[in-house]
A and B are shown apart, each in its own frame.
Chain A
Amino acid sequence: MSKASPRSTAVRAVDPTLAALFDVHEATLPNGLKVRLLANHQAPVVSLYTFFQVGSRNERPGITGISHLFEHMMFNGAKKYGPKMFDKTLESNGGRSNAYTSNDMTVYYDDFSADALETVLDLESDRMRSLRISDQTLASERQVVMEERRVRVDNEIPGMMDEELGTLVYKAHAYRWPVIGWMADIENITREDCQQYFRTYYAPNNAVLYIVGDIDPKKTLALVKRYYGNIPRGPTPAPVLNAEPEQKGERRAVVRHPAQSPSVMIGFRGPAASNEDTLVLDVVQYILTKGEGSRLVKSLVYDQKAAVSVMLDWSWRIDPGTILFYLELKPDSDPAKVEGQLYAELAKLARDGVTDKELQKAKNNLRADHLRELSTNSGRGHALGHYEALLGDWREGLSLPTFYASVTAEQVKDVAAKYFAPERRSVVTLHPEAGAEEAGDEAAEA
């Protein structure tokens, strides 16, 4: 959405508590790998994150879900450490690993005993340099991912609705399909597709390494150079085109499925992470749903007793994202009525704005949650990567508290009026079907 206004150039002050916490050592290797190191000697453990700038956003129809399937394949063997050896070596040295894939990025992380640092760098650089994809491991991993899809989407009502909502909100953009991919695509992705993906997106110049914990930054950088230095640079991945047309009016869909209660999921088209409105929406999110005294929880759950729970998710994305609401209702609820009650609250915010006290409360909570997120090595490493991937520079994160503190009631009102406009919304309603025997079967049986 081209309307997004550019980030203001006003200089923001860095928060002193965060500045003291983030004494980050930075380097870029000749092959383009960016390295961020942060010491914390509170416990003899280290967290390492590798952020690759690739996600379902980089996919195309026919190979949806490949970013995620490929993420699984990264654990299935490379040149030096063959199949099963990544986890075996890591765990037997006092470490654990996991990864996640989102629309925008693929993130690998390890937590480990400080004395295993060199082993972990050996493991991680081995798979970045020389992943080996065999037909056998791909066949088995494909089955795992299909089970994952069954548990997250096919047998899970909110998962099912979220998938439907994506196709309503986005017509052209790759955010249209779920990160896990369509079942038939998961079944048909080939080894060649995976190899192509590896060559294109897993080069060092498309990655950033974050190491946080009981480390000596200088010695650690020397080790990183030794292990990663000779991995060849790859081509620069093609930029993703955002061809999403303007939305001209409300869009609606119905999902019929056996369920006890109806429910409603609503998405409003939001801005991109780099747009300052994104941060104002963070404040809006807190005003609406953070805590039992927040507007929507108090109004819809406690006062009007219309919903069992109300959820608002506003996740930053590289391209314009979705402000998502989910209303869990009661068996005899009328979903249209509750939808109206939600819109009334949103309209009130857009019309009358917030009180100073509500605004201050949101800011206090954003700050407290921010600090809590930074209380672990893993939290700090992830925060650095998150800011760098979505805001362009990890330093942007250090001035977030200052920005939030500066948000005015007028900004909140304006942003609510802009983004909660009816023509920006898409609505999925679940209509319960009693005991339908075969519902959903055909989609999941391989």
Chain B
Amino acid sequence: MASRKIAKVKNTVRKAAKVVRKQASAARKKVAQAKKAVPARAKKLLKAAPAPKSAATGELKLPALHESTTSTGLRVIAAERGPLPLISVRLVMRAGGVFDPPGKDGLADFTARLLRRGTKSMDADGISEAIEFVGASLYAGVNEDVLSVYLTTPAEHFSAMLDVLGQVVREPTFPEQEVVDARERALAQFANDLDDPSSIADRAFTRAIWGDHPYGRDLGGNKRTVATFTRDDVVRFHAGCMGPKISLLTVVGAIDPATVAAEAERAFAGWTGGPDAEPMLPRKQEPLAKAGTVLLVDKPDQTQSQVRLGGPGFWLGHEDYFPATAMNIALGGGFTSRLMNEIRVNRGLTYGVSSYFDTMSAGGIFALSTFTKTASTREIIDVALKEIHGVRDSGLKPRELKDAQSYLAGLYPLRTETNESVASVIADMRIHGLGDDWVEKFRDRLRAVTPKDVAAAAKKYAFADRPLIVVLGKASEVKPLLEGLGPITVVPASDYE
């Protein structure tokens, strides 16, 4: 299938053979996720999403949700959905990157990836064989807030595959050799990541914009932290941070909900450990420590600069979500956004530019991501800032807002097209308290946004204060171009290994 975005490294080999028109507008992924092919978080999907505008458009409903709880306290939601004989499962718990112990950045991610490398009754090869023989897939990863294990399986193998999922979560053994090997692979990967300009720019940006906040950690860890990981660290994280009482299992596909409840009881019997209640970071939107400064990451072989701009945003479930989302669509969402129009269409400065809100459980940011040839680095920053400030100062024209609403509303039903996306949106609704009517009411709430609402949101988020600016490129040529944007700090790319 064709992709709307530039494929990340693993898929880049054949990029040149299949050239897409532009990168996706809001599909920014965190480095660890992108590198290891964890799907974009559903919240990102929601942001990019559009839905229909006229009365002719059909109603949008999720399949009925059937809830149960296993005897060990695992909450289960099942939704029956055809016609293909496939099932998607997501097990999600609040054990994401922010719960890494001090100095152990990346431990949650590392632990998640080791779950399938051995259990009490199967070794890694046995697990892979069990899953892969029937055409199922299982993988685990984290974002800042949650750890997720994803399973997709042909319907006829659901029972056996849920059993494997139960085993890897309940009783992983984390064999010493597997820990050692995973550590070595991760360290080699960190080195190779230095050759991926976009990933390093993202990593530098995340660290700089969040500073000491837990969201500023490297989700996948880094050379310094991962080198210290031991089997004990992993065992301790699994026992202390993962458990049934903070978990939710969503199952969507060609299966009867009563069967799901019974199979979940069986597959997760005896699962204990972890916190009794969901750990929560306090919600607090603080000003950025590095606002108004420029971070220049030096990579001398570059002929192109990667550019990131960022300022404060808001957390998941925030009341500003809809006006801010409408603003962002018009500013840097679709192909007709102001940023795309000025930077790509009118000036030919880049192949891809997008702005986005990155919303997490306890806070978020508003950011822009783009790239351009070295000589245009300053111009692209100036044009981007002018457009963002234009929205901040004057909001959107009523027609622009209406178009943005139609765009997002028209395409929104695509977010309920697959079992995977339905399983993910159900999990997000519950974990982040979005409400069970989130999908059904999404388009109405979006259409209710007024120009006044947007103007208020834009004043808050379209860089009310000076943004943080991160540039990765050839510093000897780029630095003189950045004079006057704020104090410049130059660091080598190797700081981000």
Contacts and interface: CB of A to CB of B under 8 A. Distances in A.
Interface of A: 17, 20-21, 42-45, 68, 71-72, 75, 84, 87-88, 91-103, 107, 109, 111-116, 139-148, 150-159, 161-163, 178-180, 214, 257-261, 265, 290-294, 298, 301-302, 305, 308-309, 311, 313, 315, 324, 326, 328-331, 357, 360-361, 364-369, 371-379, 382, 435-437, 439-441, 443-446
B64 interface: no
A437 B476 CA distance: 10
Contacts of A111: 411, 414
A20 B82 CA distance: 13
Nearest to A109: B2
A113 B52 CA distance: 5
Contacts of A260: 191-192, 194-195
Interface in B118-174: 124-125, 128-129, 131-137, 152-154
Nearest to B335: A87
15 contacts: A44-B60, A45-B52, A92-B402, A94-B50, A98-B21, A107-B2, A113-B413, A140-B345, A148-B19, A151-B198, A155-B301, A290-B132, A292-B116, A324-B13, A382-B1
B419 interface: yes
Contact of A379 (B1, B10, B51, B303): B1
Contacts of B181: 302, 305
Given A84-B341, A95-B410, A364-B134, A180 B13 contact: no
Interface in B181-221: 181, 184-185, 188-189, 191-192, 194-198
B110 to A, nearest CB: 15
Given A364-B133, A375-B417, A375-B419, A162 B86 contact: no
B303 A100 contact: no
Contact of A371 (B84, B345, B351): B84
A372 B411 CA distance: 21
B348 A142 contact: yes
A314 to B, nearest CB: 10
A175 to B, nearest CB: 9
Nearest to A430: B195
B484 interface: no
Given A308-B185, A376-B418, A441-B303, A179 B17 contact: yes
Interface of B: 1-2, 4, 6, 9-10, 12-22, 50-54, 56-58, 60, 83-86, 116, 124-125, 128-129, 131-137, 152-154, 181, 184-185, 188-189, 191-192, 194-198, 300-304, 334-336, 341, 344-352, 371-373, 375, 402-403, 406-407, 409-411, 413-414, 416-419
Q: Which 9 A-B pairs have the closest CB atoms?
A: A94-B410, A143-B348, A368-B135, A293-B128, A113-B410, A44-B58, A444-B303, A113-B52, A92-B403
B191 A99 contact: no
Contacts of A151: 6, 198, 304, 351-352, 371
A446 B54 CA distance: 47
Contact of B191 (A153, A331, A376, A439): A331
Contact of A154 (B54, B84, B304, B414): B304
Contacts of B133: 357, 360-361, 364
Nearest to A101: B19
Contacts of A436: 301
Given A45-B414, A91-B407, A437-B301, 11 more contacts: A87-B334, A92-B336, A94-B411, A96-B411, A156-B15, A214-B58, A291-B132, A364-B154, A368-B152, A371-B84, A436-B301
Most chain B beta carbons < 10 A, residue from A94, A302, A378, A444: A94
Contacts of A97: 335
Contacts of B191: 260-261, 330-331
Contacts of A145: 351
B303 A152 contact: no
Nearest to B36: A309
Contacts of B350: 144, 147
A162 B17 contact: yes
Given A98-B4, A109-B2, A111-B411, A155 B197 contact: yes
Given A84-B345, A94-B411, A382 B304 contact: no
A291 B334 contact: no
B195 A259 contact: yes
Contacts of B83: 20-21
Contacts of A301: 185
A317 to B, nearest CB: 9
A159 to B, nearest CB: 5
Q: Which of A96, A261, A305, A360 has the most CB of B within 10 A?
A: A96
Contact of A435 (B54, B57, B184, B300): B300
B334 A91 contact: yes
B57 A115 contact: yes
A116 B54 CA distance: 10
A155 B19 contact: no
Contact of B56 (A115, A150, A259, A368): A115
B18 to A, nearest CB: 5
Contacts of B347: 140, 143
Given A99-B21, A147-B351, A150-B303, A291 B417 contact: no
A147 to B, nearest CB: 4
Contacts of A180: 16, 19
Nearest to B54: A115
Chain B CB within 10 A, most for which of A21, A116, A436: A116
Contacts of B304: 147, 150-151, 154-155, 444
Contacts of A146: 373
Contact of A374 (B84, B134, B371, B414): B84
A116 B124 contact: no
Contacts of B22: 98
Given A84-B341, A152-B6, A360-B133, A113 B57 contact: yes
Contact of B18 (A102, A265, A443): A102
Given A313-B13, A445-B373, A302 B124 contact: yes
